[in-house]
Structure 1
Amino acid sequence: MNSSLEILQKWYASVCDGDWEHSYGIRIETTDNPGWILVVDLVRTSLHGRTCDREYQSVDGFWMSAKSDGIEFVAACDPCSLERVIDYFIEFSAPESA
């Protein structure tokens, strides 16, 4: 079974067409609250136009927020949940979630 990172890498490779990657891409950054943010450009991909709005917070400190306006998928999370956010993007990008 592929890891979340491997699946994300394969998705990125699949949308790179010699042009897309010059204007669009994927960004993973840290935030000062502290946490992570994942931003994925959806323009000119099969996910263009797909939307979502999800927030989750648990008593043990796990939190995540993910939104897509159909142009950009943006997810943020606590410092220990980056893999969960990548997993949610993978779930979001699955054909059956369309």
Structure 2
Amino acid sequence: MNTLKWLENWFVQNCDGEWEHHNGIKVLTLDNPGWLIEIDLEGTVCEEKFFKDFKLEKSDEDWIFCKVRDNKFFGYGSVNNLTVILEVFRNWVKLVEGF
């Protein structure tokens, strides 16, 4: 399953009639240019789970940084790394879920 389809499924699994009214996923652009992904973890299996900050800098045009703060996953990356950011989130969720 591709990463975007997986994220759609993860979102649907967490929609319970309440969660989606207060939580969700944000995909924003940065002005450097790049991406910012913000995913609410409250009420999910990832809530309060440990995530080690992840940083990968290949060049000024190829980098990502991911962290969890205040029950939110934040992924930042250069313009060609949107999928990589989502894959970092996906791999962490799989670890948390025990897959």
| TM-score (normalizing by structure 2) | 0.90
> In the alignment, which residue of structure 2 is the partner of 1:96?
98
Q: Which amino acid aligns with 1:96?
A: G
Q: Which runs of 4+ in 1 moved over 2 A?
A: none
Distance (Å, rounded) in 2 between the aligned partners of 1:36 and 1:84? 11
Counting matched residue pairs gives 96
Distance (Å, rounded) in 1 between the aligned partners of 2:64 and 2:50? 16
Distance (Å, rounded) in 1 between the aligned partners of 2:9 and 2:58? 31
Q: Which amino acid aligns with 1:42?
A: L
Q: Which amino acid aligns with 1:36?
A: W
> In the alignment, which residue of structure 1 is the partner of 2:79?
79
| 1:25-56 deviations in Å (ceiling 9; x for gaps) | 00001011110011000001110012321111
| TM-score (normalizing by structure 1) | 0.91
Q: Which amino acid aligns with 1:49?
A: E
> In the alignment, which residue of structure 1 is the partner of 2:61?
61
Distance (Å, rounded) in 2 between the aligned partners of 1:62 and 1:51? 26
TM superposition shift of 1:70: 5.6
> In the alignment, which residue of structure 2 is the partner of 1:20?
19
TM superposition shift of 1:59: 3.5
- Overall identity of the aligned pairs, in %: 28
User: Which consecutive residues of structure 1, in runs of 5 or more, have no partner in the other structure?
Assistant: none
> In the alignment, which residue of structure 2 is the partner of 1:10?
9
Q: Which amino acid aligns with 1:4?
A: T
